[in-house]
């Protein structure tokens, strides 16, 4: 079974609205400086595992931050919008990971510079860990 991060990567790199904008340019942690734009990266911000008296319940509440970068603000926003459209409200199974709910908790614009624009999404995922 895939990890949650692998499942999210697979889902987004096969979702037509995302691939139409960024192809399969999704990366763990950081977007390489040499990457074509637009692109996105994902990293875990927190992962809280619930416990019960007998030990682990198997439930995890994990926050993944997705950073979208593009040459223009409009393109970064469009990529973030496509990712949000696929993930927000999702319930089901992704690459074998049982998802109880996904909520895009926060959208945040980064500082634009000569290299382009950045938009970040904080994605809360409540799932069952195998």
Angle between helices 73-87 and 4-12 (to 10 degrees): 120
- pLDDT of amino acid 111: 78
101 contacts 87 by C-beta, under 8 angstroms: no
Whole-structure pTM value = 0.92
pLDDT digits (tens, 9 = 90+) for 14-63: 999 999 999 999 999 999 999 999 999 999 999 998 877 787 788 999 99
Which residues are within 8 A (CB) of 1 and not within 5 positions of it... i.e. 6 or more apart? 95, 96, 97, 130
48 contacts 126 by C-beta, under 8 angstroms: no
- pLDDT of amino acid 47: 93
- For residue 47, what is the domain's CATH number? 3.30.2000.10
* pLDDT exceeds cutoff 90 at 114: no
Phi/psi for 14 (5° steps) reads -120, 5
Count how many domains the chain has: 1
Q: What percent of the chain has pLDDT over 90?
A: 84
Quote the domain boundaries for residue 45.
Answer: 4-128
- pLDDT of amino acid 53: 77
Tokens of 122: 């904080």
């Amino acid at each position: 079974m895939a990890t949650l991060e692998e499942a999210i990567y697979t889902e987004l790199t096969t979702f037509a609205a995302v691939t139409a904008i960024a192809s399969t340019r999704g990366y763990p942690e950081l977007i390489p400086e040499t990457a074509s734009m637009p692109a996105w990266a994902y990293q875990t911000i927190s992962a809280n595992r619930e416990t019960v008296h007998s030990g682990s319940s198997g439930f995890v509440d994990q926050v993944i931050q997705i950073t979208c970068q593009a040459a223009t603000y409009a393109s970064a926003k469009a990529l973030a919008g496509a990712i949000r459209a696929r993930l927000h409200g999702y319930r089901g199974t992704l690459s074998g990971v049982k998802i109880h709910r996904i909520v895009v908790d926060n959208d945040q614009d980064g500082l634009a510079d000569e290299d382009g624009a950045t938009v970040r999404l904080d994605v809360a995922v409540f799932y069952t860990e195998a």
